[in-house]
Amino acid sequence: MNQPRLARREDMPRVLELIKELAIYEKEPDAVEVTLETLEFDGFGKHPKFTCFVIEVDEKVEGMALVYMRYSTWKGEVLHLEDLIVSQAQRGQSLGTQLLNEVVKYGKRLGVKRIGWEVLDWNESAIQFYENKGAKVMREWDVVQLDEKGIDNYLENIN
Amino acid sequence: MNQPRLARREDMPRVLELIKELAIYEKEPDAVEVTLETLEFDGFGKHPKFTCFVIEVDEKVEGMALVYMRYSTWKGEVLHLEDLIVSQAQRGQSLGTQLLNEVVKYGKRLGVKRIGWEVLDWNESAIQFYENKGAKVMREWDVVQLDEKGIDNYLENIN
């Protein structure tokens, strides 16, 4: 097995496959609105909006981790791990661990004061894994989202 | 009362006061490691890392909302509201609502497919307020954080 490496533009078709595979698994295939062109432009254009690491098995990308910087009013710039995906076929081979290791090394190189991500509160094995690694699961904090339709409704109601 | 407006560099001392006031209220005064210089540089340097809105009462900034872009592997660029703070003295005057309105209008102008933020799961009045506004509170998702010490411990354990 190879070590994780930085993704290249030409990895994006496979990265999009992994994103879609996970969305199908989560029974939300239609939620993926991002296109290959968007990923290529946003990740490898003049002002990259994310950094992506991939890991290969037999020269095929089987896992990816996508990160970007966020801004904490307490800590300044912090690193956020948006997604860590391993293909169904390659689960349990520690690809996820290797990708997470790479992300933490990357955060250290950047000198950030914090690395954050999100986890499903019923995913006890993931929570256990993260806590064993020294991460703090902030069970009190929930994620709130206002989607496109929600934005329009919101604005209609204040005008 | 004035409308919210974009923050200027010279608002940052007062914005930092609001950040610290909230941290004291949350009994974590020492958690604020960000400095005035950092806020000024990160918000108003060549590559701004956040956008800040403020609202004044009697020519004094009494509330602020700090936002930046995140990247969703499903939606592409999305807007994130990191902090919305109203001074203790001015709670209940709808400054928070006005700031949130401004953030949603800003997201609409940017054309993002989603605006997100985080809420404490026991803060029922905030959750009610957001849900009334059409936002979805994803109670299943928890926030995970690996702090500076956690990063070092993590790396020690994999090397």
Other C-beta atoms within 10 Å of A46: how many?
Answer: 5
A73 → closest Cβ in B34, B113, B143: B34
pTM for this predicted structure: 0.93
3-class SS letters over B61-120: EEEEEEEEEEEECCCEEEEEEEEEEECHHHCCCCHHHHHHHHHHHHHHHHCCCEEEEEEE
Task: Determine the distance in angstroms separating the CA of B144 from the nearest CA of chain A, rounded to an integer.
Answer: 4
Q: Are B118 and B94 in contact (CB under 8 A)?
A: no
- Give me the sign of the Cα torsion angle A96, B151, A135, A145: negative
- List, for residues A84-94, the tens digit of each pLDDT value: 999 999 988 89
- List, for residues A16-47, the tens digit of each pLDDT value: 999 999 999 889 999 999 999 999 999 999 99
User: What pLDDT does A125 receive?
Assistant: 86
Residue A135 to residue A130: CA distance in whole angstroms: 5
Quote the percentage of chain A above a pLDDT of 70. 99
Residues from chain A contacting residue B142 (CB–CB below 8 Å)? 118-121, 127, 137-139, 141-142
- When pLDDT is cut at 50, 70 and 90, the band that residue A52 belongs to is very high
Beta bridge partners of B120: A141
- When pLDDT is cut at 50, 70 and 90, the band that residue B74 belongs to is very high
Domain B5-117: give its CATH code.
3.40.630.30
Task: Determine the distance in angstroms separating the CA of B38 from the nearest CA of chain A, rounded to an integer.
Answer: 7
Regarding predicted confidence, which is higher, B34 or A2? B34
Residue A55 to residue B137: CA distance in whole angstroms: 33
CB contact under 8 A, B32 and A113: no
A134 → closest Cβ in B70, B104, B153: B153
Task: Determine the distance in angstroms separating the CA of A20 from the nearest CA of chain B, rounded to an integer.
Answer: 9
User: What pLDDT does A69 receive?
Assistant: 98
Residue A141 to residue B139: CA distance in whole angstroms: 8
User: What pLDDT does A93 receive?
Assistant: 84
Q: Are A113 and B147 in contact (CB under 8 A)?
A: yes
